[in-house]
Amino acid sequence: MSVAVAPAGADPALEVADLDFSYSGKPILKQVGFSVAQGGFAVLLGPNGAGKTTLFSLITRLYDRRVGTIRVGGCDVRDLSTAALGQMGVVFQQPTLDLDLTVRQNLAYHAALHGMSTRTARRQADEQVERLGLGDHLRRRVRELSGGQRRRVEIARGLLHRPRLLLLDEPTVGLDVASRRGIVEHAHRLSHDDGVAVLWATHLIDEVHATDQVIVLDRGCVRADGGVADIQAATGTATIADAFDVLTEAGHA
């Protein structure tokens, strides 16, 4: 079963079309296509092994062998990779902070990679850590922080260069309930208040908000793409959890 509901809104910050990817002859992604509007919050919802991390690796060009098109802000990630990658911030599933550096040092290093001046980098770092409740931790080494605080530092790092698209791959894995909730809410505020397009990959149904665009990915295929209410109506279900079960069970039939 496949449900497609075209999202309304501004021009897409992210466009994926006819995307295929195989590894060692095994298809991992099959004809994947969707778009995320500027300022939109899209949840890439799928079970473990659905292909979410592979998709993120293709968008960020960690992987490149593929058939299909990926554009960020209208720039193809293969043909105009510098322009495309410069418009996105990324929080990977596996932590990538240097544990022996302070929060400020981690942020300064990332800013330098983007060619930001020291003054601009410091201003942006101060702004982001304050918004994330980390203002008192700038001089602390990352290894001294909790898991939730480290994730917040990674989000701040991904926003330093003011991207139009923020990718988060299972960003709440291993966090306690309060930390999870705080990070989910902050990401939604970025979308709503700052106009940042967010693609949030998760297998956790409770991280979906009623106003989100939901892209259900299962076994490498997009089973549904649209608003929560539209997907529920199309599947004849009362909750997004029930709709997810219907869509993924149909994919396994």
For 125-176, what is each residue's pLDDT tens digit? 999 999 888 889 999 999 999 999 999 999 999 999 999 999 999 999 888 8
**Who wins on pLDDT, 99 or 94?**
99
Which among 162, 194, 227 is the end of a domain? Answer: 162
Give the residue-averaged pLDDT of 50-60. 96
Tokens of residue 208, six digits = 């979906």
Closest by Cα among 163, 152, 146 to 187:
152
Strand partners of residue 69: 17
Q: What is the pLDDT of residue 250?
A: 63
Spatial distance between the Cα atoms of 16 and 199, rounded to a whole number of angstroms: 12
Residues 76 and 132 occupy one common structural domain: no
Distance CA 128, CA 248 (A): 38
Angle at 238 between CA 233 and CA 243, to 5 degrees: 70
Q: The domain that contains 244 carries what CATH number?
A: 3.40.50.300
Same-domain status, 27 and 111? no
- 40 and 69 in a single domain? The answer is yes
Quickly list DSSP for 71-124.
EETTEETTTTHHHHHTTEEEE-SS----TTSBHHHHHHHHHHHTT--HHHHHHH
Domain with 75 in it: 1-87+164-253
C-beta separation of 36 from 199 below 8 A: yes
The lowest-confidence range among 104-118, 199-213, 232-246 is: 104-118
Model confidence at 11: pLDDT above 70: no
pLDDT score for 65: 72
Q: How many domains does the chain have?
A: 2
